[in-house]
A and B are shown apart, each in its own frame.
Chain A
Amino acid sequence: AQSVAQPEDQVNVAEGNPLTVKCTYSVSGNPYLFWYVQYPNRGLQFLLKYITGDNLVKGSYGFEAEFNKSQTSFHLKKPSALVSDSALYFCAVRAGYSSASKIIFGSGTRLSIRP
């Protein structure tokens, strides 16, 4: 069965510093991995995905994520944090090949960027 773990409930970073939000996964086949961001009282916004190809995936708002097969990780990164990046971030794994397959979410990590 597929699962996703986000070990940190909260990450605090000063504005301008690099940030990392951690995610590890467990899948029985090829991993289809995603990062989403949620602002208060809103749905989820897609940031980036890993399906196949380059291990470094670039996404929206300057975010990127590195797929590491040996460590089964898919950490979200940004070189220079902005206060507006403060939000709830979810790592997710898709349960199958098709985009119509259900998605399993991690527990979420609250990112707080201080000015």
Chain B
Amino acid sequence: GAVVSQHPSRVICKSGTSVKIECRSLDFQATTMFWYRQFPKQSLMLMATSNEGSKATYEQGVEKDKFLINHASLTLSTLTVTSAHPEDSSFYICSAPFGVPGNNQPQHFGDGTRLSIL
């Protein structure tokens, strides 16, 4: 079964709206989670690393004020797209390393959120 739950799966909203996406680790704690963005027929682009209890680490070119990340608990990270515009429309995916963060554990991914801004 799924070990990472992402919600909502799809959002359609008007330009200017802020949208919050949740990523939850199920039955395990995740001090680190990752947020990706995927354009149609393209690869995943890492946006930021979410760290529990501290500030997220953003990749170069990603606007911190546009994509707000909060990791307030060991099982929940949220991504808020603020004042969304049509160019923010994309597929957003989160992931978390499952289990003790040694070297043997893969990351597990949520099912993604398709965001469509009208």
Interface of A toward B, CB cutoff 8 Å:
32, 34, 36, 41-46, 49, 51, 90, 97-100, 102-108
What's the A-B contact tally at a CB cutoff of 8 Å? 65
Within 8 A of A (CB), among B28-53: 31-32, 34, 42-44, 46, 49
Number of interface residues of B (CB under 8 A): 29
B67 close to A (CB within 8 Å) = no
**Nearest A residue to B99 by beta-carbon distance?**
A99
B109 pairs with A45, CB closer than 8 A: yes
**Nearest A residue to B104 by beta-carbon distance?**
A51
B69 close to A (CB within 8 Å) = no
In the assembled complex, the CB of A67 is this many whole angstroms from the nearest CB of chain B, namely 15
Query: With a CB–CB cut-off of 8 A, which chain B residues contact A36?
Result: 109
A43 pairs with B112, CB closer than 8 A: yes
Query: With a CB–CB cut-off of 8 A, which chain B residues contact A51?
Result: 103-104
Contact check: which of B32, B102, B107, B112 meets A42 at CB < 8 Å?
Answer: B112
Complex Cα–Cα for A102 and B102 (A)? 13
Query: With a CB–CB cut-off of 8 A, which chain B residues contact A49?
Result: 104, 106
B42 pairs with A46, CB closer than 8 A: no
**Nearest B residue to A98 by beta-carbon distance?**
B101
